Amino acid sequence: MKNSTLPALLLTLLLPLGASVHADEISVAVAANFTAPMKLIAADFEKDSGHKLLTSFGSTGKFYAQIKNGAPFEVLLTADDETPTRLIKEGAAVPGTQFTYAIGKLVLWSARPGVVDAKGEVLKQAAFDHIALADPKLAPYGAAGVEAMKALGVYEVLQPKIVTAENISQAYQFISTGNAALGFVALSQVLKDGRIEGSSWLVPAKLYTQIRQDAVLLDQGKAKPAAQALLKFLKGDKARTIIQSFGYEL
């Protein structure tokens, strides 16, 4: 072997070692409605940065309780803008790091064609046994569903038919398996390649409070450059393109 090739060989051997020194793991709590886009964003972020994301998906309300009880999350992506604000005020999140990464859309959906009409009149007819909804006390999309039903004047009639799910992912499961004829979910859960299978009604935005989904750096991640890098990545073009492809507004 010629001596001139030795430095190049050593550099090749040392590069992976150097990269691993700077790589880090980030524990991220993510609102359940954002599961599909976050998986794609995570793959791009890990590829570009070398960092590893440890993601947990669930209801915003449950994550709040877990964080207050010391859960080791470093970044939080919620389904509202109130929870991050509250965590900042309570000293559990870093001031100045909160921002809206997506604006969600509520949809009334059935896995079966012909169940939900284009104007949502099915709610007034109430000719079904069960309607699924994420727990409105824990999930902003569930709260939005209740708001919409109240605005339409059908909540009291439909209340006995409501099947309450732990989070919006479970609400989707209830509907997709037929345990509930229809229900309120996030548009991002049912929009695939620009189409929605089954039948649906995009609930007019005027019927519920705007769902501003905010991200924030938690106190446990404030000394972690990788956590800050993830928040920056969420604001970038790659992440924004993915977010929009799932029907969210920016």
Which residue segments constitute the domains of the chain, with CATH numbers given?
Answer: 20-103+211-245 (3.40.190.10), 106-202 (3.40.190.10)
Residue with tokens 């604000």: 85
pLDDT given at position 197: 93
The beta strands (E) that lie in the chain are given as: 25-31, 52-58, 75-77, 99-104, 106-110, 131-134, 162-165, 182-186, 191-192, 195-196, 199-202, 211-217
Two structure tokens written together for 149: 């039903």
pLDDT tens digits, one per residue of 92-114: 999 999 999 999 999 999 999 99
Task: Tell me how crowded residue 45 is: count the other CB atoms within 10 A of its CB.
Answer: 25
What does the longest C-alpha to C-alpha distance in the chain come to?
85
> How wide is the angle at C-alpha 40 spanned by C-alphas 35 and 41, nearest 5°?
95
pLDDT tens digits, one per residue of 215-248: 999 999 999 999 999 999 999 999 999 999 999 9
